[in-house]
Amino acid sequence: MTAVPSVSVVIPAYNRAATIRPAIESVLRQTWEDFELIVVDDGSQDATMEMVRAISDPRLRLMANPRNMGAAGARNTGIRAARGDWVAFQDSDDEWLPRKLEKQMARLQAEGAAHVGAYCGLLTLGGLDDRADDRLRLRYVPDPEITRAEGDILEPLLHGNLISTQTLVARRELILELGCFDEATTPIEDWDFVIRLAQRGSIAFVDEPLVQQRFSPNSITRNTARRLQSHVRVVEKNLPLLARHPAQLACQYYAIAGGHRAAGDLAAARSYLARARKANPRNLRVWIMSAYVAALGVLRRGG
């Protein structure tokens, strides 16, 4: 490839021989054709690289990390190698609908547009707790009840993530300026990054399910301990910002307390619930959870 593409698409991949080809092909089928596709193998021990090499397309580039660096580290490798002004992200077990990039770039390049990025709707097929006897369950992200999904979306992002990485397109220059993805916040590095991105300007939203997501058995998202650790890190990194939104801060402490309770660490749960009560004493759910955790502690001591 000699011409500089307008968009660089980055796919991190680790042991995804079974799913990488459909993910790549969904990008190569895009109606927006001015892109390069960078697949970063993150130390796979299966046939992932062989599956990628078997695909013949001049827009496709294969890179390999010298060791496993995690999804955030693999994305950062791809970002640094990207040539496009815009960077989009795909996951190695998901699929894009054909007009995804076209519709997002139309918003980003519209006359007078000044967005720092754009995202689209995501349709999750199933969930983290899939069972063989379950019927297919569908979930649309962001939740349709969230009305403030475009423009200045920092406040709703402080409550929870609206933007999964594979739905995002952002300016490469700004991604680099923001320090790329925090490799210590996997598996919620997308949330950590878009909080930083939203502080820099407006984010456009294409309200259509242009990405289909499935969770693979080796998805890091299934690692609840890692997820909780990353959640704590994201909140601590953004404490000055969250302190200006005490209701949102209380919700984050409440969620972290729930994670510790589920893991059996009642002391940590009590600590975070105390922080949640201090941040927002009017949150009834926090008081109810506090009473429940206290009762669990009494029962545990009695046993």
Domains identified in the chain and CATH numbers:
7-221 (3.90.550.10), 245-302 (no CATH)
In the predicted structure, residue 167 carries a pLDDT above the cut 60 = yes
Which pLDDT does position 219 carry in this prediction?
59
- Sign of the C-alpha dihedral, residues 70, 76, 79, 80? negative
The per-residue pLDDT for 56 is: 96
Tens of pLDDT along 217-260?
A: 655 556 899 999 999 999 999 999 999 999 999 999 999 999 99
Better-scored residue on pLDDT, 100 or 3: 100
52-110 pLDDT, tens digit per residue, is 999 999 999 999 999 999 999 999 999 999 999 999 999 999 999 999 999 999 999 99
- The model's pLDDT over 254-295, given as tens digits with 9 standing for 90+, comes to 999 999 999 999 999 999 999 999 999 999 999 999 999 999
Q: Which amino acid, one-letter code, is at 131? A: R
- The strand ranges marked E within 14-143 are 35-41, 60-64, 86-89, 95-96, 117-125, 138-141
Instruction: Please report which confidence band the pLDDT of residue 216 belongs to, taking 50, 70 and 90 as the band edges.
Output: low
pLDDT in tens, 109-131: 999 999 999 999 999 987 555 55
pLDDT at 217: 64
User: Which of the four pLDDT bands, split at 50, 70 and 90, describes residue 32?
Assistant: very high
Q: Which residues contact 6 (CB under 8 A, 6 or more apart)?
A: 34, 35, 84, 85, 86, 105
Q: What is the mean pLDDT of the chain?
A: 94
Share of the chain above pLDDT 70, in %: 94
For residue 135, what pLDDT is reported? 73
Tell me the backbone φ, ψ of residue 217, rounded to 5 degrees.
Answer: -55, -30
pLDDT value of residue 215: 76
Average pLDDT of 197-225? 86
Give the pLDDT of residue 136: 81
pTM: 0.92
Query: What CA dihedral angle connects 135, 140, 141 and 144, to 10 degrees?
Result: -140
The answer to whether the peptide bond before residue 142 is cis (omega within 30 degrees of 0) is yes
Segment 15-41 shows an average pLDDT of 98
Q: What average pLDDT does the segment 126-149 reach? A: 79
**Amino acid 137: pLDDT:** 84
What sign results for the dihedral spanned by CA atoms 73, 74, 77, 83? Answer: negative
* Confidence band of 45 (pLDDT split at 50, 70, 90): very high
Q: Stretch 8-28: mean pLDDT, rounded?
A: 98
Could you give the angle at the alpha carbon of 121 between the alpha carbons of 161 and 104, nearest 5°?
A: 110
pLDDT, position 133: 60
Q: What's the token pair of residue 45? A: 């021990």
